[in-house]
Every structure is written in C-alpha cells, then in structure tokens.
Amino acid sequence: MDRRKFLKTAAVGATASAAFTTNLYAKTSKTLKVCLSWPKTLPIMGEGALWFADRVKELSGGSLKVKIYGANELVPALGVFDACSKGLIDGFHSGPYYWKGKNMAFSLFSAFPFGMVYDEIDPWFDFGGGMDIWRKLYAKYNLLPFKGGNTGNQMGGWFRKPIKSLNDLKGLKMRIPGLGGEVMAKLGVKPVNIPGGEIYTALERGVIDATEWVGPSLDLIMGFQKVAKYYYTGWHEPGSLLELTFNKKKFERLPKEHQAILEAASREMHTRIFNQFQYQNAVKLQELLSGKYDVVLGNFPDDVNEAAKKATQEILNEYANKYKDFAMVYDNIKSFFPKIRKWTDTLPKWYLDIRDKGFIVD
Ligand code: CA
C-alpha cells in the first residue's frame, strides 16, 4: 500500500492522531529532484541551492531530502521550466525572466529597467499581490513558485570603450538579455545573448564590445576586469528575483509538514542569497577600488539614462497593449509602485542621502 493510500485509509478510520502521522513521516523518506539553470559550483546561487537542500534535510529530520542537479546534469539549463511543468523533475532554481518567451508577463516578476529595488519588490510579492498573480500565472503550467533569492542592484556592465554620451552606444554589440537588452536596442545597441561560459572570450576577442553580468560579487570571478576597462552602474536590473519553483501537483501531494518545511527553507535561502550578494558586492567593490585592476568605475551619462527611461516606458506600454497577462501584472505593479516609491523617497532615500555627510565612520 502506498503512503498516500495508507494515510487516507487511516484518516477514514479516524484513528490517526497527529502524533502518529508525524511519526509516520519521520520514518519515510522522500527525495526531490531540483535542477538549476547554473552550475552547482556557482558562488552564491549554486551554493545557495545546496544550502537549501541541507536545510530541508535538517528541518525534516531526514524525512525529506532534496537532490540538487547543476545545469545540464539532468536537463538543459533552460529546459528546467518544461521538465518541471511535465513532472519529470520536482523543482528548479532559476529566474522568471528566462521564460518570457512562454509568457511575456514573466519578465515583470524578475525585475525590469527602472523598476523596484529589493526593499520594494519583496513587500510587493508578500503583501502587494505579486505572489498571488505569479502563482496564478504559473498554475497554468502546473508550477508553484517561491522566491529563491535576489541579486540586488545589478551593474550596467563592462565596456571596452568609455561611454561619454548616447552616441557612444550606437552600433555596440553588447551581451544583455531580457527587457534591458530591448531597451539598449532602442538606444542603438545590438544586444546579443551568449552563454555565460563564452562571454569572457567574446569580450576579449572583440566579438562583443560590452557585457553585463551581475555585479562585483560575480563579475570579478568571470575576469571581465582583465578585458574591459570601463565598468558602469546601471538601471536595467534593479533587483532581479530568482525563483525556486516546484511542480504544483507533486508539491500538493506532499504532507503538509513537508510543504511547510520547503516554504520555510526557501524563505531562508531567499534572504541568504540576497544578503550574500550584498556582502560579496561590498567586498569585491573594495578589491576593485584598491587599484589592483586598471578599471574605471563610472555612471552612464544623463542622456543615456533619460533615453533608456523613455525607451523602457515605450516597451512597457507596447507589451501591455499586446499581451493580456502582461497588462494584468503591469496594472498591479502600477498600483503598488507609486505608493512604495513615495515611502522610499520620503524616508529611506532621504536617510541615505544625509547619512554619510561628515559622519564619523568613514
Ligand atoms: Ca544580469
């Protein structure tokens, strides 16, 4: 008799006490297959997923286990969504904007140019309706998403030549995926999408003129500082959300305790990954500023930023007119964003502006 059948029978018999079922779960063990869109060895993200697996085992007393598979170990890096949707795997750790080809609305769950930062996007998911509509849209694919980390603000990227005005972007080949790439295209850039492992060589050989990746935390590991001298801050990914998504039917068949453990551990992983990005960005920025590398750190000129903002608005309007789901998510964001922005501007931003003026810790 399988466990579910047994539980059902036991419940019908009305003899199954809570203690009895809890003991039963502790004696049985289940292993979930979770695939990543990046290598297991990738610092912060791959490492975060492995930490999640350990945490689930610890919280469940070993009755629930998660086996992590790196990109291409079990399914291709970007095949995880379909594999999980079909139930071939139990879950995956990836990013919602990779699936914009399935539904353009998914790009809005990661981050979009000039959109919300972590402190704003996280409350939107938990209390502003973001999680509800994300789950509603993923349910069409038999998927149940959880937040799986956030990269925080991402750097605008590495350029082989300085960007002094909008004109300097014209004709540049840049590796930049997602809506950021579409914005850059409107500014005259030729966006290209090449796999992570090939970016360094492409940049070194001049096949591309620029690339974005994440921030100092992971960029210095890629070695971009050796082949591109100009490193700019950016607006294209102000706080990209990662996801830990499960096959919905498989998840719902798990005992309630196991569901709660997965949810709790995913929350821990989510904040752990964000905090680690922040920490590593701070550490690696110091390395960059130490003069060890011949890198010029700067901001894009105002005309680039203004043109990018205008292009972003055009793209958002265009997609909202074209795609029903995109319009639904965008409308939700539009009702929340001004409110949280008002709060951010009223106190947190004001505080950051005045905090460091002449303060003793310098
Ligand atoms: Ca990026």
Residues 146 and 255 in one domain: yes
Residues 131 and 173 occupy one common structural domain = no
* Separation of CA 249 and ligand 1 centre (Å): 31
Residue 198: CATH number of its domain: 3.40.190.10
Is residue 44 included in any domain, yes or no? yes
Residues 140, 43, single domain; the answer is yes
- CA distances (Å), origin 96, targets 28, 93, 109, 282, 353: 33, 10, 6, 26, 33
**The domain containing residue 272 runs over which residues?**
30-152+239-279
Decide if 210 is inside a domain: yes
Q: Are residues 257 and 223 in the same domain?
A: no
What percent of the chain has a predicted confidence (pLDDT) above 90? 86
Q: What is the DSSP letter of 168?
A: G
Give the pLDDT band (50/70/90) at residue 188: very high
Whether residue 50 is found in the same domain as residue 199: no
Q: Is 309 among the domain residues?
A: yes
Sign of CA dihedral 289, 293, 294, 300: negative
Q: Return the structure tokens found at 67.
A: 């086996």
Give pTM, 2 decimals.
0.90
The enclosing domain of 248 has a CATH number of 3.40.190.170
The answer to whether residue 164 sits within a structural domain is: yes
Distance CA 54, CA 265 (A): 9
- pLDDT for 360 equals 67
Give residue 349 CA to ligand 1 midpoint distance, Å.
24
Closest CA relative to residue 91, chosen from 151, 52, 150, 36: 36
Compute the distance from residue 210 Cα to the ligand 1 centre, in Å.
13
Residue 25 lies in a domain: no
Distance, CA 156 to ligand 1 centroid (Å)? 8
**What does residue 357 show for φ and ψ, rounded to 5 degrees?**
-75, 105
358 Cα to the center of ligand 1, angstroms: 34
Residue 310, domain member (yes or no): yes
pLDDT of residue 356: 79
Q: 97 and 243 in contact (C-beta within 8 Å)? A: no
Q: Are residues 101 and 218 in the same domain?
A: no
- Do 126 and 180 share a structural domain? no
Closest listed residue to residue 183, CA positions, set 50, 92, 316, 286: 316
- Does 17 or 289 have the greater pLDDT score? 289
pLDDT for 2 equals: 44
Predicted pLDDT of residue 221:
96
| 114 and 261 in a common domain | yes
Q: How far is the CA of 154 from the centre of ligand 1 (A)?
A: 6
Distance 240 CA to ligand 1 centre (A): 8
Distance of CA 115 from the midpoint of ligand 1 (Å): 14
256 contacts: CB under 8 Å, gap ≥ 6: none
298 in the same domain as 250:
no
Q: Which of 213, 239, 217 is nearest to 158 (CA)?
A: 213
Q: What is the 60 CA–ligand 1 centroid distance (Å)?
A: 34
Residues 180 and 315 in one domain: yes
Domain count along the chain: 2
Q: What distance in angstroms lies between residue 62's CA and the mean position of ligand 1's atoms?
A: 36
In a domain, 287, yes or no: no
Residues 45 and 190 in one domain: no
Residue 105 lies in a domain: yes
The runs of H, that is alpha helices, within the chain are: 3-12, 18-27, 45-59, 80-85, 107-110, 118-127, 130-139, 178-186, 196-204, 216-222, 248-253, 256-289, 302-322, 324-346, 348-355
CA 288 to centroid of ligand 1, rounded, Å: 19
Residue 158's pLDDT is: 98
Ligand 1: centre distance to CA 70 (Å): 19
163 neighbors 59 (Cβ within 8 angstroms) = no
**How far away, in angstroms, is 347 Cα from ligand 1 center?**
28
296 class by beta-carbon count within 10 Å (0-12 exposed, 13-18 middle, 19+ buried) = exposed
Span from the CA of 91 to the centroid of ligand 1 (angstroms): 23
**How far is the centre of ligand 1, averaged over its atoms, from the C-alpha of 59 (Å)?**
33
**CA neighbor of 146 nearest in space, from 94, 215, 88, 89:** 94
- Cα 30 to ligand 1 centre (Å): 35
- pLDDT, tens only, 5-19: 433 433 333 333 444
Residues 170 and 188 in one domain: yes
